[in-house]
Amino acid sequence: MLCHVVHINVCPWQAMATGLIQDILMITLNIKAVMTARSVQWGRRVTLTEVANATGISRMTLTRMMRQTEYSTGIHQLDKLCQFFQCELTELVSYFPASPSSVTSFTGDMAAAGMR
């Protein structure tokens, strides 16, 4: 899972390590939905093993990407998935803007933790 970085004076990894960022994750991966759509479009079942073999991304990693909302992935893995599924990044990834209250809470929590 990727994490949208708000312009705040803190390292995102530090914020994730302290658990402050967990409530404002705003980007999700739609691998399962894209697999299902391609199965219908291509007229055959697309399996996780097939995706893993074609992309070089292990089945375990793909499973984590599909199940863990907090999974952080890299641009290279997203590129490989887009190439395999022949899709745009916007089909593979969804963005949900955080509510202003969660961002305010996040910055307040960071200040309280001395991270600002």
Number of domains into which the chain is organized: 1
3, 44, 46, 42: which is closest to 22 by C-alpha?
A: 3
Tens digit of pLDDT for each residue in 43-101? 999 999 999 999 999 999 999 999 877 788 899 999 999 999 999 999 999 888 776 65
Q: What pLDDT is attached to residue 40? A: 96
- The pLDDT of 13-35, averaged and rounded, is 68
Domain-embedded: residue 91: yes
Domain-embedded: residue 60: yes
Domain-embedded: residue 1: no
CATH of the domain at 80: 1.10.260.40
**E strands within 1-116?**
27-29, 93-95
What is the span of the domain harbouring residue 60? 12-112
Domain-embedded: residue 2: no
* Both tokens assigned to 9: 């004076």
Domain-embedded: residue 40: yes
- The pLDDT of 24-31, averaged and rounded, is 81
Query: What contacts 102, CB < 8 A, 6 or more positions away?
Result: 23, 24
CB 7 within 8 A of CB 35: no
Handedness of CA 33, 38, 43, 45 (dihedral sign): negative
Tens digit of pLDDT for each residue in 88-101? 999 999 888 776 65
Domain-embedded: residue 75: yes
